[in-house]
Amino acid sequence: MAVGQFDLGPAAAFSLMYFLVILLVSWVFYTVMTNLDREEGNDAQPFLCRGHGARICCSC
pLDDT, tens digit, 9 for 90 and up, residues 3-59: 666 677 888 889 999 999 999 999 999 999 888 877 777 655 555 555 565 556 555
pLDDT of residue 56: 62
Q: Is the pTM of this model over 0.85?
A: no
Three-state SS string across the chain, please? CCHHHCCCCHHHHHHHHHHHHHHHHHHHHHHHHHHHHHHHCCCCCCCCCCCCCCCCCCCC
pLDDT of residue 19: 97
